[in-house]
Amino acid sequence: MKPFDMEHSAWARFSPEERGQMEAYSVNYRHFLDTARTERLANKEILRQAKAAGFKALSEYTSLQPGDKVYWDQKGKSVILAVIGSKPIVEGMKIVGSHIDCPRLDLKAMPVVEKNKIVYFKTHYYGGLLKYQWVCMPLSLIGVVFTADGRQIDVSIGEDPEDPVFYINDLLPHLGKDQAAKKLSEAITGEMLMPIVGTNSTEEKTKPTILSLFKDKYGIEEEDFASAELEIIPAQKSREVGLDRSMLMSHGHDDRVCSYGNLAAILAAAPGEKTQVALFADKEEIGSVGNTGVHSSYFLDFAAELLALQGHTEELYLRRMLRSSEVLSADVCAALDPVFASAYEENNAAKLGYGICLCKYTGARGKSGSNDANAEFLAKVRQIFNSSNVPWQIGELGKVDQGGGGTIAYIMADWGCDVVDCGVAMLSMHAPLELVAKADAYSGYLAYKAFFESK
């Protein structure tokens, strides 16, 4: 197989046997998509699979030997998995960094409001999304509530086919003259993203009736919403797309398509010379902030703890290890959409179905904010993919002056690591339902596994 080939899709280059493996992989990926619906549920599912494969908590180790499998659970919203290499950790790690948070609507702290006897949720959107896309579709409510007396209550409404769902209304076209004249970004505003929760009450007000339904089902009061993380996402599980079933539609491909590839790769990879590390971070979509995002200290704390278990407690060893470490920043990139061709530069745009995408730089307005990977490291990664038959392509987000984006790459580059963005190309990024090619999702898994196993 020719790993780099912009004339033939990865699907065409895979052997019948590889296509079979790709289909089996996509079944497992869909199970992950349909289970790991929030960052907390992704954390739980990743830890479940890791523990089943023999990973143990860092606190269970008093020293580390080659082949040992370690996990770190960062507050139930981010996970790090490590497989200790045959060389000392201080000689550097092979890190694949992905994220498990996704664009969505979060409930506000006082979310339940009533207008004209209709009860709504007030929401604040999370991540960069096109607000007009979230109206008139079935929506689920998933998340956790912590009560003042210390109970955790898991909430899930809309996931079971028999469940009710929520719905954000839009104006009918018959009355849409003023709305239609507005800019697309202003036709639906953030404060208008109010899912309808209920309308029925025998009382003068509807809100108390709705609150009593929450009380009956979950034992929670209105005040409990103040200490909750409740997310509104599409009430739609993953589906195959196209008569040839070559694509998958789902909420949260960004970045579960890379996160699942990362998980499957570290579970399948043969232990290497270098210590292999799979990061599943939170908060990437809002700038990697907070103590579950990559700007926080927890990744470095985990790395320092690993070094300490091999006898290196001074910070100097952490710094030595980081500058010898290599990172694939496993995050999605935009695939060329011919319908919107004018936003892309065709020669440097990734194409759906042509393999995992290497993206030298992201950023906007002249690469601003980008990691801009070193050419030497790109050459090394290219060689890994070529020698392991991983279909790969290059990709730039869009036309130079069109916009831009960012990933966790620059943060890990700040630590001294060699980093390049390497993720799955997709369509409709950040839409409620996003689209990827199965061949690209599978290529991501092959890429991360080859990287973990490389020298």
What residue ranges bind Mn ion (CB under 5 A)? 254-255, 331
Minimum CB separation from Mn ion for residue 98, in Å?
8
Alpha carbons 399 and 200: distance in angstroms, whole number: 50
Give the phi and the psi of residue 93 in degrees, each rounded to 5: -120, 160
Least CB distance from residue 43 to Mn ion, whole Å? 17
C-beta closer to Mn ion: residue 282 or 331: 331
Residue 170 has a CB neighbour count (10 Å cut-off) of 15
State the first-to-last Cα distance of the chain, in angstroms, to the nearest integer. Answer: 22
Minimum distance from CB of 422 to Mn ion (Å)? 12
Q: Pick the closer one to Mn ion by CB: 112 or 357.
A: 357
- Per-residue burial over 133-161, b if 16 or more Cβ lie within 10 Å, else e, is ebbeeebbbbbbbebeeeeebebebbeee
User: By three-state DSSP, how is residue 200 classified?
Assistant: coil
Min separation Cβ 94 and Mn ion, Å: 21
Residue 390 · residue 2 · CB < 8 Å: no
Q: Would you say the C-alpha torsion 241, 242, 247, 253 has a positive or negative sign?
A: negative
> To the nearest whole angstrom, how small is the minimum distance from the Cβ of residue 36 to Mn ion?
15
Say if strands 93-99 and 275-281 run parallel, antiparallel, or are unpaired.
parallel
For residue 221, how many other CB atoms are within 10 A of its CB? 14
Give least dist CB 408 to Mn ion, A: 9
Q: Which is nearer to Mn ion, 45 or 255 (CB)?
A: 255
Residue 215 sits at φ, ψ, to 5 deg, of -60, -45
Question: Left if phi > 0, otherwise alpha if psi is -120 to 50, otherwise beta: which for 85?
Answer: beta
What is the DSSP secondary-structure string of 395-422?
--SS-TTT--B--SHHHHHHTT-EEEEE
User: What are 229's strand-pairing partners?
Assistant: 144
The residue among 194 and 257 lying less far from Mn ion, judged by its C-beta, is 257
Give yes or no for a contact between 439 and 22, defined as CB atoms under 8 angstroms apart.
yes
Main-chain phi, psi angles of 265, to 5 degrees: -70, -45
Least Cβ distance, residue 255 to Mn ion (angstroms): 4
Q: Is 423 exposed, middle or buried (0-12, 13-18, 19+ CB in 10 A)?
A: buried
Contact yes or no for 196/117 (Cβ under 8 A): no
Where on the phi/psi map is residue 218: left (φ > 0), alpha (ψ -120 to 50), or beta?
alpha
Cβ proximity to Mn ion: between 331 and 396 the closer is 331
d(CA 366, CA 164): 47
Q: Strand, helix or coil at 56? A: strand
Residue 332 C-beta: closest distance to Mn ion, Å: 5
Write down the least CB distance from residue 410 to Mn ion, Å. 14
Q: How far apart are CA 321 and CA 281, in angstroms?
A: 20
Helix (H) or strand (E) holding 453: helix 438-453
Please identify which residue in the block is written with the tokens 């000689």: 91
Nearest approach in angstroms of CB 285 to Mn ion is 5
Nearer to Mn ion, 255 or 396 (CB): 255
Q: Shortest gap between Cβ of 254 and Mn ion (angstroms)?
A: 4
